[in-house]
Structure 1
Amino acid sequence: MAKMKELVELENKILSHEAYGASYKWSPRDFELGSALGQGKFGHVHVAREKKTGLLVAIKTLFKSQIVRSKCERQVMREIEIQSHLKHPNILRLLTWFHDERRIYLVVEFAAGGELYKHLTNAPHGRFPESKAAKYIYQVADAVEYCHQHHVIHRDIKPENILVDFHGNLKLADFGWSVHAPSERRKTMCGTLDYLPPEMIKREVYDVSVDHWCIGVLLYEFLVGKPPFESEGQDKTYERILALDMVYPEYVPPGAKDLISKLLRHSSKDRLSLDAVKKHFWVQQFHNKGTASG
């Protein structure tokens, strides 16, 4: 607990610039760059140490030329704007950002466990035991509920966009497709093929409940090791999603099946609320044992 408190204090120093003075301008010179953590669409991610406080962080470097070439300027600025305002234990924190002539640097908290997707593929049989799946789905539902309370729709929830911290808790990340939508009515088709909800495929106006659908797909993937509508080719996947054509392997527990079926509803109005996901009897039986953190 003491270490966690220390970490929060260091993060707050970086955010408030207390260690340097209020008008401090950040630059790459403030950080010792470590090993590469991965490759992003517009650059790369490295672990780094902030020199004055010693805080371990991750630095995402984006090349401006690539952003301009892809015509994604607005998308990148929107991602920064959204993520810098979200403060939740299960959402990756954007601590600060700065830029030079060629690059934009995003300084985010360091998630020592890496991508959740790698944990899933390395798990026995490529799937999580139900206790871990329940813990994780509680944390994702809590994070996404917080986003919705702040009028943010994530629109791309999947294992590749979730990180794991040092303590084994999840951090929702990659807000590249997210949108701040106070009216909560959108029409843009975006996200990942296997996770697209019916209303997006049909190009209908949609709201925050697209994320509820994604959480249902996510839970299925946690327990089975692949998404429920995965097929050869886009058209076949679309057909299966629209027909709700899915099969539960016999090892999927009845409680989890009940929860998934209440999220993967054709009509967005019929999908279970995120508060109800957290209170679902299957999630609660593990949450009450202390396997899920709130």
Structure 2
Amino acid sequence: MSHYEDYRVIRQLPGGAQSKTYLVELRSTRQQFIMKKVDYLEDVDRAKVDVEVELMRSLDSDFTVHLVCTFPDLMGLQLCMILEYCVRGDFRNLIDEFQQLPKSEKLMRGWEYTAQITRALDHLHSHNVMHRDLKPANILVNQDGTIRLGDFGLSREMNEDYYLTIAGTKVYMAPEVHLLKRMDRSSDIFSLGVIIFQLITGHHPYEADSEEAMIDKIKKNKVLELPDWVSNQMKEVIKWMMNIDPIRRPTTKMILSHDTVLMTLRESQEKERAQVELIRERTEKDQEKRRADTAQVELNRANTQIDQEKQRTNNAEELTRIFQSYVETTQSEVTRLTSEVTRLNRELQIRETVPSTLQTQLKQIPVPTPKPKQQLLQVTSSPQATPVEEEKKSEIKDDKETKDESKDKNKEEVKDEDEDISGNFDDTAKKSVVKKVDQFPPGRIKVKILSLKRDDGKDEGTSNAFAKILYAGEEKNTRDDGIGETYEFNFLGGEQGGDKTIKVQMWDVDDDEEDEQIGSIGVSIKEFLNNRSTKTVQFIGSGNLYGENVGSLELEVEYVPDD
């Protein structure tokens, strides 16, 4: 039994005033259905719905919409009817599609739908049921073009030859319904004639500007003429069904006995039989394929089991081999240990049989007594020195300590010098510096700025930053010449020149105001003497940026002595 939660609503469909219809999907299978919700609270509503449900179950066939199940909604106020879903919608869509067909095909297919709807209506009349609301909206179309009658909410069993209660859609009602307030089987036949007229021409036979005008035309039988291209046989059948006198209208049996309708039914039945045979063949092929697939799956499963059994056998054999090897190894080790224990026991027995006299003799051997410390000192000490000799030894000792201090001082100076000239160079550069600072003659210091970077990592040599290089009172800057230029400075020579530093400043360019210094760094000239090297230095900010890394500079310095 299905329940409301088993279905997912996809969208609401156009429906009547008495009910709401939805396209839904069964969650477990994803199959689509129509859900019709009708009021089920009041006794009157319950009676109407129960009649409709009972009729649908009793009339279930290939000509009527199949009722799948019913159940109350979550609130218990409405009854949900799950109906089969006809993919192509109702007959109104088919009428619109029909108008695009050639005239000859319209006639041919018009006979087919006349036969189909008549057979469906005959099924109802054979069970003594009037539809009472036959119209395009209540004729549903499957994917293959077959039709189903639906919406039996107004259908009733006929206890007499006619029904006194009026029901249905007014513009599809027969004249006697409007004039005499009575309905019978022929009223359904009139509605069928109106539908076939509308299918062939695309127009309602009583077309007018309003519903009242259409009803007036129905009462007065002011029907539109069928086009000339419509065959005489089709015209006769339509006029026959729409006769103003209900007695002169044909029954469903009479329509089905018409030559053209009968021929159409035979062709349709042959198509149905061919379709059934085709479906049967496809079903058999599908079943055969499923059986073959199942057999293949079983074969694969059996092969897998065989492979697994072989693997288990191989594993067992391997474990047996390993265990046997372990047992053999263990036995060999036990044999070895047994032999070792036997040997040790034998040695122990030999030691226990050592003569006690030998032990006694060993105890009687005298042990040498060490001489007193004072006696040893007297043996190793030299005769006492004279006062003159003691004075000479003191002078020699002082002279030696002075020489050692001088050597240590020289080592410290060399070490300091090595530290001063070390910089950021490699070991080869360190080894090349062999002279002291005061040994370098006057010459020139060549400084080349290779790159200038701000803290954001961008090269700023020509845009909004430049560098100033200062040495021994001279100043150069990259704002005038740019990155990559070489600047020469006079080197004074000796200790005075070596103690000077190359000072590099980073300046920020401001077109509206004065340039602003944002960082500086000083590099000792000692780091570059007798060496051509590059060095990267970090600028330490000043002013508002004091103590921050504001950028970096890569420079190359070369010392060139004067000729």
SS in 1 for 2:244: coil
CA contact under 8 A between 1:35 and 1:47: conserved in structure 2? yes
State the alpha-carbon separation in 2 of the partners of residues 261 and 214 from structure 1: 12
Give % identity: 22
State the alpha-carbon separation in 1 of the partners of residues 150 and 258 from structure 2: 25
- List gaps (5 residues or longer) in structure 1: 1-23
CA contact under 8 A between 1:198 and 1:241: conserved in structure 2? yes
SS in 1 for 2:268: coil
Q: Per-residue CA shift, 1:242-270, capped at 9, x if unaligned?
A: 33222222232211101011111222221
User: Displacement of 1:180 after TM fit?
Assistant: 1.7
- List gaps (5 residues or longer) in structure 2: 274-563
**277-286 or 85-94: bigger deviation:** 277-286
CA contact under 8 A between 2:71 and 2:80: conserved in structure 1? yes
What corresponds to 2:36 in structure 1?
60
Work out which of the residue numbers 197, 204, 213 in structure 2 matches 1:227.
204
User: Displacement of 1:235 after TM fit?
Assistant: 4.0
What corresponds to 1:102 in structure 2?
77
What corresponds to 1:168 in structure 2?
145
- Residue 164 of structure 2 aligns with an amino acid whose one-letter code is K
What corresponds to 2:106 in structure 1?
129
CA contact under 8 A between 1:155 and 1:191: conserved in structure 2? yes
State the alpha-carbon separation in 2 of the partners of residues 76 and 290 from structure 1: 35
CA contact under 8 A between 2:10 and 2:25: conserved in structure 1? yes
Q: TM-score, normalised by structure 1?
A: 0.80
User: Displacement of 1:121 after TM fit?
Assistant: 1.6
CA contact under 8 A between 2:33 and 2:84: conserved in structure 1? yes
**123-132 or 243-252: bigger deviation:** 123-132
Work out which of the residue numbers 113, 120, 125 in structure 1 matches 2:95.
120
Aligned: 1:80 with 2:53: yes
State the alpha-carbon separation in 2 of the partners of residues 243 and 254 from structure 1: 24
**1:279/1:50 Cα in 2 relative to 1: closer, same or farther (>3 Å)?**
farther
Paired positions, count? 265
SS in 2 for 1:95: strand
CA contact under 8 A between 1:86 and 1:93: conserved in structure 2? no
Q: Per-residue CA shift, 1:204-225, capped at 9, x if unaligned?
A: 4332111111111111111111
User: Displacement of 1:281 after TM fit?
Assistant: 2.4
**1:293/1:270 Cα in 2 relative to 1: closer, same or farther (>3 Å)?**
farther
State the alpha-carbon separation in 2 of the partners of residues 270 and 135 from structure 1: 24
**215-224 or 116-125: bigger deviation:** 116-125
- Which protein has the bigger helix share? 2
RMSD (Å) for aligned C-alpha atoms: 2.6
State the alpha-carbon separation in 1 of the partners of residues 90 and 246 from structure 2: 29
Work out which of the residue numbers 176, 179, 183 in structure 1 matches 2:156.
179
**Which structure has the greater CA radius of gyration?**
2
CA contact under 8 A between 2:7 and 2:25: conserved in structure 1? yes
What corresponds to 1:48 in structure 2?
25
State the alpha-carbon separation in 2 of the partners of residues 117 and 219 from structure 1: 12
CA contact under 8 A between 1:194 and 1:230: conserved in structure 2? no
What corresponds to 1:237 in structure 2?
214
State the alpha-carbon separation in 1 of the partners of residues 27 and 116 from structure 2: 28
**126-135 or 253-262: bigger deviation:** 126-135
State the alpha-carbon separation in 2 of the partners of residues 125 and 237 from structure 1: 26
User: Displacement of 1:279 after TM fit?
Assistant: 2.4
CA contact under 8 A between 1:97 and 1:105: conserved in structure 2? yes
List structure 1 runs of 4+ shifted beyond 4 angstroms. Answer: 125-128, 291-294
What corresponds to 1:280 in structure 2?
258
User: Displacement of 1:118 after TM fit?
Assistant: 1.2
SS in 2 for 1:236: helix
What corresponds to 2:6 in structure 1?
30
- Residue 165 of structure 1 aligns with an amino acid whose one-letter code is N
The answer to which structure, 1 or 2, has the higher relative contact order (CA under 8 A, 6+ apart) is 1
